[in-house]
Chain A
Amino acid sequence: MSTLDAVPGIVAIAAVTVATLAIGTWGLRISRTTSDFMVASRSVNPRLNASAISGEYLSAASFLGVAGLVLAFGADMLWYPIGWTAGYLVLLVLVAAPLRRSGAYTLPDFAEARLASRAVRAACSVLVVAIGWLYLLPQFQGAGITLRSAVGAPSWVGPVLVGVIVLANVTSGGMRSITFVQAFQYWLKLTALLVPLAVLLVVWLGDGTPGSGAAGAGGDAAWSMPLAGDGGGPGLYTTYSLILATFLGTMGLPHVVVRFYTNPDGRAARRTTLVVLVMLGVFYLLPPAYGALGRVYAPQHAGSGSDVIVLELPRLMVSGLGGEVLTGLVTAGAFAAFLSTASGLAIAVAGVLSQDVTSRGPRGRRIGGVAAFRLGAVLAVSVPVLTALAAPHVGVARVVGLAFAVAASTFGPLLLLGIWWWRLTDVGAIAGLVLGGLGSGIAVAHTLAGEPVDGWGGVLLAQPAAWSVPLAATAMVVGSLLTPGRVPGHTRRLMVRLHTPEALGLDRA
């Protein structure tokens, strides 16, 4: 790659980094006088909050991975964007408002509020860290391939660079106005996909709407038909497993849940979720289009390097300055995707680590709040960065899919049963968390180790959700029914608070 080719990428990455740091630092520096007090004490409105949630949620997997998967594996992969959006539908209908009304900030907080048990809280904390690390890993790997593709840097540069920026941002006590930063990132990502796509579609129309066959790729029918390969066997299982993982996994992502706290009440939480659904729905229309265009113009990428298709396509289809500008734009979007998701996750993981691990210094000394948080942030970022450097590249969307599977097998049942079933006990919850976590964890370890297993065994391990979610839910139900005496005394009162609309005048204390 010539140095000239690297210019748009470097400019884009620098611009995104500077904009992010600037908004994070000065977004709220504009001091207000008393006459603006009402402005200062007004809470974040649902649209801004929804932009922020979407901005934090749309990760490297969404920005790069989906297009790559569609390019390589065809229509079956459309379930990824559908599931990642529909997860918010489940969240909207079943979880958002009660979770907000519970007053919980993190998932361990919810477990403690609902079950009054330190043990369940500890189990949840471990899982939050595990899911956070698993989700951070593909972000850093994605950063590696992005920088290699855009700037020609060696693949270790991306993870280290994003890791350092995120760490600097999080530990400087920065991200003061994180809501504005994340909201900005959503619109940046949307623009960065939408504008190039519009240009590319014009080029495609100008070329006379060629199908993929024209570009010489075979098997077009198999590519565009879902489940074309094997009728109703492993393919069908994989699809249903993916649906279950994504639908139930969203609610168990640590960086998603904490953002709901910003809503003033349950009603606002619902409205926010509704707007998020619309925003994600619009966004996810775009990456599959890149995949399909890639099928036409860059079939050679359908093999191992499919994750970079979004970055390579503008250059392949538009030559000259126009192509360079579009490349810069998608690179900026991709970089925003790593930064926003990685920052959100790093804060969530660092928070849990600082509360439960790093605040305990050697020989029983307690470490103060800020120091503990910084130490937690270093741990939260360095572990996945080092893993990203060491582990083989598995595919950005696949690893994120596994993080969803773990979340769906643990927090999914915990939240649904915790909110809707008063008989849930701490013993049942722990049984479910341990079984679901172990089951999906084994699958993750197997996939990351990269040793293929043939036949159904391999299929079950590649997509564990379809068996690990029911396993966890059953364990929670059976464990709870076996220990009816351990239903916490405050359960009924809590249930009333979780499920009563704010409009009702009711003493919730």
Chain B
Amino acid sequence: MRAPTSRPWRRQHLGTEADRATFRTLHQASLASPALRAGLTADSAQRSIRHLRSLLGTPALAITDPVAVLAWDGAGQHHADRVPSLVAATIEAGGTRSFDRVDLPCTEAGCAVRTAIASPLLVDERIVGALVAFAPYPTAGLARATDEVAAWVSGQLELAELDASRTRLMEAEVRALRAQISPHFIYNSLGAIASFVRTDPDRARELLLEFADFTRYSFRRHGEYTTLAEELRSIERYLLLEQARFGDRLEVTLSIAPEVLPVAVPFLCIQPLVENAVRHGLEGSDGGGRIQITASDRGQECVIEVEDDGIGEDPDRVRRALAGDGDGDAVGLGNVDARLRNAYGDEHGLVVETAPGAGTRVIVRVPKFAPGVQA
């Protein structure tokens, strides 16, 4: 059988030898990149180093941080304790350096680790580690390849840094949201409490304690998630304080399925919705507003609805707020939406049903379990 001519599609399919080499290289790189996108740690170095070594084709490869070896793949592991000094020299040089037999003394016969090429890994112009390739003989090709691979790894690490800073931004927004208990709310509450001090001191004392508990929860520092029960307790305190102010003008009904109380939800993800509902509900009518909070059990999911019968909202404005460029009270909405999507995926964003004059209903769908989400 004349294999090459009888199956011409085969060659076409896989491309030329050079093409295939390119594919192999790209494939190895794609295997290494998911681990590196988690940042430079012993774990990510360990998981990516095998692919990086086959990319370079050297007998041994090490990934280090500025002071210690994070991972070693290949032969000659007994040289690992020499590597930190090589890295120190590389950092001093500020660029790729090669080391010869004098730097790597060895007594073992046939040891393949005789020379080394160390290339620094840079994130934001800052050296975060080094890629050290070992070979029996120094070659210019290897030096060039190590340099290029180190540059590619640096690129991946910068992307990881970008991911991390996006998460940090999100966290900062949550912190801002916490600090964002509206000043109006604080002085209105304190004013309402003050009005009870003479007429009903017991009630004033109770309200003050509720206020203290409310602020403690809202300023809580630890934990990205909380249980729905906790969030509802905080909402209760908020509503008690608002009712102290508005009295009968604010009417709140709740129906909560007890099965969904243990569900983990992002911290402060329902409360901003209730605050919006209170504001809209009271703005809407002279007689006062009605607010309905429902949490129901839908098998794998929990559905939370916050509804008011107030003035409603222009859907376009809501759309803009959810897209991130809102103003005033819409900031809360956009933030909640972003955090829900971040935690559970895009299909779990906020759903807002509203029209001018028709009230507003905000629907949150939270899965009972999502990997990595834990109250």
Chain A residues near B (Cβ < 8 Å):
28-29, 31-34, 36-38, 40-44, 103-106, 109, 112-113, 116, 173, 176-179, 261-265, 347, 350-351, 354-355, 366, 369-370, 373, 489, 497, 507-509
| A48 smallest CB distance to B (angstroms) | 9
**Interchain CB contact under 8 A, A43 and B261:** yes
Select the stretch in B51-59, B161-169, B235-243, B310-318 that faces chain A: B235-243
**Interchain CB contact under 8 A, A112 and B229:** no
Cβ-defined partner of A34 (8 Å) among B43, B229, B239, B261? B239
A-side contacts of B255, CB under 8 Å: 28-29, 31-32, 40
Select the stretch in B117-125, B191-199, B366-374 that faces chain A: B366-374
Known: A41-B233, A106-B369. A176 touches B296 (CB 8 A): yes
Cβ-defined partner of A40 (8 Å) among B227, B254, B373? B254
**Interchain CB contact under 8 A, B253 and A31:** yes
| B278 smallest CB distance to A (angstroms) | 12
Cβ-defined partner of A105 (8 Å) among B236, B254, B369? B369
**Interchain CB contact under 8 A, A179 and B258:** yes
Cβ-defined partner of A355 (8 Å) among B227, B233, B297, B300? B300
A37 CA / B232 CA spacing, docked (Å): 9
Interface residues of B toward A: which range? 35 or more
Q: Say yes or no: is B20 at the interface (Cβ < 8 Å to chain A).
A: no
B-side contacts of A370, CB under 8 Å: 298
**Interchain CB contact under 8 A, A43 and B365:** no
| B139 smallest CB distance to A (angstroms) | 32
B-side contacts of A36, CB under 8 Å: 254
A-side contacts of B261, CB under 8 Å: 41-44, 264
Which residues in chain B, 296-349, are within 8 Å of chain A measured between CB atoms? 296-301, 347
Known: A103-B373, A347-B299, A489-B43. A263 touches B262 (CB 8 A): yes
Q: Say yes or no: is B259 at the interface (Cβ < 8 Å to chain A).
A: yes
A347 CA / B298 CA spacing, docked (Å): 9
Closest residue on chain B to residue A42 by CB atoms = B258
A-side contacts of B227, CB under 8 Å: 264
Q: Say yes or no: is B143 at the interface (Cβ < 8 Å to chain A).
A: no
Cβ-defined partner of B374 (8 Å) among A40, A103, A262? A103
| A484 smallest CB distance to B (angstroms) | 13
Q: Mind listing 7 A-B residue pairs with CB under 8 Å?
A: A31-B254, A34-B254, A37-B239, A41-B233, A43-B261, A103-B374, A354-B300
Q: Say yes or no: is B252 at the interface (Cβ < 8 Å to chain A).
A: yes
A177 CA / B259 CA spacing, docked (Å): 8
**Interchain CB contact under 8 A, B262 and A262:** yes
**Interchain CB contact under 8 A, A261 and B262:** yes
Known: A106-B300, A264-B261. A508 touches B365 (CB 8 A): no
A358 CA / B296 CA spacing, docked (Å): 22
Cβ-defined partner of B258 (8 Å) among A44, A106, A354? A44
A265 CA / B365 CA spacing, docked (Å): 22
A-side contacts of B296, CB under 8 Å: 173, 176
Cβ-defined partner of A41 (8 Å) among B232, B252, B369? B232
A3 CA / B17 CA spacing, docked (Å): 86
Q: Top 10 A-B pairs ranked by shortest CB distance?
A: A105-B368, A109-B369, A37-B236, A41-B232, A105-B369, A351-B299, A31-B253, A40-B256, A351-B300, A44-B258
Cβ-defined partner of A33 (8 Å) among B252, B259, B297? B252
Q: Say yes or no: is B257 at the interface (Cβ < 8 Å to chain A).
A: yes
**Interchain CB contact under 8 A, A34 and B240:** yes
Interface of B is mostly: mixed
Q: Say yes or no: is B223 at the interface (Cβ < 8 Å to chain A).
A: yes
| A488 smallest CB distance to B (angstroms) | 11
Q: Counting chain A CB atoms within 10 Å of each CB, which of B224, B252, B253, B259 scores highest?
A: B259
**Interchain CB contact under 8 A, A179 and B259:** yes
Closest residue on chain B to residue A113 by CB atoms = B371
**Interchain CB contact under 8 A, B300 and A103:** no
Q: Say yes or no: is B222 at the interface (Cβ < 8 Å to chain A).
A: yes
Q: Say yes or no: is B264 at the interface (Cβ < 8 Å to chain A).
A: yes
A76 CA / B239 CA spacing, docked (Å): 61
**Interchain CB contact under 8 A, A43 and B262:** yes
Closest residue on chain B to residue A377 by CB atoms = B299
A-side contacts of B264, CB under 8 Å: 103
**Interchain CB contact under 8 A, B299 and A350:** yes
Q: Counting chain A CB atoms within 10 Å of each CB, which of B253, B368, B369 scores highest?
A: B369
| A197 smallest CB distance to B (angstroms) | 33
**Interchain CB contact under 8 A, B374 and A34:** no
- In addition to A37-B254, A103-B374, A369-B301, 12 A-B residue pairs with Cβ atoms within 8 Å of each other are A31-B253, A31-B254, A31-B255, A34-B240, A37-B239, A38-B233, A41-B256, A41-B261, A103-B369, A262-B262, A263-B262, A509-B374
| A264 smallest CB distance to B (angstroms) | 5
A33 CA / B252 CA spacing, docked (Å): 6
| A437 smallest CB distance to B (angstroms) | 23
Q: Mark B265-309, 1 if CB is under 8 A from A, else 0.
A: 000000000000000000000000000000011111100000000
**Interchain CB contact under 8 A, B300 and A508:** no
Closest residue on chain A to residue B371 by CB atoms = A112
**Interchain CB contact under 8 A, A264 and B262:** yes
Closest residue on chain B to residue A173 by CB atoms = B298
**Interchain CB contact under 8 A, B254 and A262:** no
**Interchain CB contact under 8 A, A32 and B254:** yes
A463 CA / B259 CA spacing, docked (Å): 36
A58 CA / B135 CA spacing, docked (Å): 69
**Interchain CB contact under 8 A, A44 and B256:** no
A43 CA / B262 CA spacing, docked (Å): 8
A-side contacts of B253, CB under 8 Å: 31-33
**Interchain CB contact under 8 A, B256 and A508:** no
Q: Counting chain B CB atoms within 10 Å of each CB, which of A34, A179, A262, A366 scores highest?
A: A34
**Interchain CB contact under 8 A, A38 and B236:** yes
A33 CA / B253 CA spacing, docked (Å): 5
A28 CA / B297 CA spacing, docked (Å): 12
Known: A105-B300, A369-B301, A489-B43. A34 touches B369 (CB 8 A): no
| B287 smallest CB distance to A (angstroms) | 17
Known: A106-B369, A261-B368, A262-B259. A176 touches B297 (CB 8 A): yes
A386 CA / B159 CA spacing, docked (Å): 54
A489 CA / B261 CA spacing, docked (Å): 30
Which residues in chain B, 216-249, are within 8 Å of chain A measured between CB atoms? 222-224, 227, 229, 232-233, 236, 239-240, 243
B-side contacts of A351, CB under 8 Å: 299-300
A-side contacts of B371, CB under 8 Å: 112-113, 116
A109 CA / B264 CA spacing, docked (Å): 14
| B134 smallest CB distance to A (angstroms) | 23
Q: Counting chain A CB atoms within 10 Å of each CB, which of B232, B233, B239, B254 scores highest?
A: B254
Q: Counting chain B CB atoms within 10 Å of each CB, which of A40, A109, A113 scores highest?
A: A40
Closest residue on chain A to residue B300 by CB atoms = A351
